[in-house]
Structure 1
Amino acid sequence: MANLFIIAAPSGCGKTSLVKALIEKTQNLCVSVSHTTRVARPGEIHGKNYFFVDKDEFDAINDNDGFIESACVFDNYYGSAKQTVKDLLAADQDVILEIDWQGARQVEKSFPNIISIFIIPPSIEALRERLTGRGQDDAAIIERRMQDAVSEMQHYNEFDYLVINDDFETALDDLSNIIHSQRLDTEQQFSKHQTLLASLTRQ
């Protein structure tokens, strides 16, 4: 029985770096690669970071009910392919979806047993510093991202877990602990160890 995790965070909270490190240290855990209409950034690879598609191709998938969630973020469209997620779960892979709170609401309709995690910064000042420090956006875009971040963080209580990314390694350990605790859930342990449990409880 595989788990479907949602990890959400405002821009600048370190979600991408944390998830990358989490995947590297955790066996049998992967990220579902999303489709997007935005242009690839330097170093990003089609099929690895995202499936980079044009708006017509994105709309065609969406019109055929091919996404379990989709959203428009900063004028670009993102979507998680339904079949990709189902195939990974069927292969007994724990899967992470990197989406926002709106996407989480959509996914819950198809996968009610998701485990959702929200990442926040240690302060609003730290978030502004991180967004500015990336050197990717001008002042107007940073202000827009800050406003959107405050709006997103108002939905933190819709998630199962809350992780504060003050120290990277501490936040990574927190995420790792959440993943491993879910794998020790009684129902999952029963699924994996039925023979053992039967022998231990037989009278």
Structure 2
Amino acid sequence: MTEPHSSEAGARRSRLVVLAGPTAVGKGTVAAAVRETHPEVWISVSATTRRPRPGEENGVHYWFVSEAEFDRMVAEDELLEWAVVHKAARYGTPRRPVEAALAAGRPAMLEIDLQGARQVRGTMPEALFVFLKPPSWEELVRRLVGRGTETEEERTRRLVTAREELAAEPEFDVTIVNHEVHAAAEQLVTLMTVGEERPSLRPDQP
């Protein structure tokens, strides 16, 4: 693995990292691993109109809000980005917590979908955009089916979306292949604290 270089060997500062990738690639699992092992990293909690899955906690995994509350947040410009995902629920990133974390100088990360990442690039182009990629298409399908949290119709819809999302990899600054969750999490934390200059190679390249 080639690690990104910094513009000055000793100059290091926190930066906003935007993590996106196809459905079922493990974005939430990787973010949870970062949260567990690096409490100094601030990770945004998205708002969503979908129903909680088993084991999900309000305010920890997502802010679960009503359609009316989401409408209010959009109308009052409280979201940094938002999108309809998988032609179903809406997801969005509350703006104020992100701005507060950056103002405090904390390493910060957004774990969002592809549509949201594109919106953030328009408003915060200085952020580092990281694409989380599965080891293979077969592994992505295995993970999605193995979750057991979607109906057959939902899985089919998500797999169609996943193929489109995988094609967006060239839009990102860095790619991390999610072979193993904790290794991917450590690569992310490293990217949050490197110098200002963009990596010259993707971390998964030889």
**TM-score normalized by structure 1?**
0.83
User: 2:32, 2:153 → 1: CA distance?
Assistant: 29
Match runs of 1:3-42 below 5 Å: 3-42=15-54
Larger radius of gyration: 1
Say whether 1:88 aligns with 2:98.
no
Alignment partner for residue 68 of structure 2, among 56, 65, 86?
56
Partner-residue secondary structure (3-state), 1:132: helix
Name stretches of at least 5 consecutive residues in structure 1 with no aligned partner. Answer: 188-203
- Deviations along 1:35-65, one digit per CA (max 9) or x if unpaired, are 1111112222222211111111111110111
Name stretches of at least 5 consecutive residues in structure 2 with no aligned partner. Answer: 1-12, 198-206
- Deviations along 1:145-177, one digit per CA (max 9) or x if unpaired, are 111000011111111110111233433333233
Hey, what does 1:200 align to over in structure 2? Answer: none
Contact 2:14/2:107 (<8 A) preserved: yes
Q: Give how far 1:186 is off.
A: 5.9
Q: Give how far 1:68 is off.
A: 1.0
Alignment partner for residue 152 of structure 1, among 165, 172, 176?
165
Report the structure, 1 or 2, having the larger helix content.
Answer: 1
Judged with a 3 Å threshold, the aligned counterparts in structure 2 of structure 1 residues 186 and 154 are, in CA distance, closer, same or farther, namely closer
Hey, what does 2:195 align to over in structure 1? Answer: 185
Letter in 2 for 1:34: S
Q: Give how far 1:178 is off.
A: 2.2
Percent of aligned pairs sharing the same letter: 36
**TM-score normalized by structure 2?**
0.82
Q: How much is the aligned-residue C-alpha RMSD, in angstroms?
A: 1.8
Match runs of 1:168-179 below 5 Å: 168-179=181-192
Mean alpha-carbon deviation: is it higher for 169-178 or for 72-81? 169-178
Q: Runs in 1 of length 4+ with deviation above 4 angstroms?
A: none
Contact 2:53/2:149 (<8 A) preserved: no
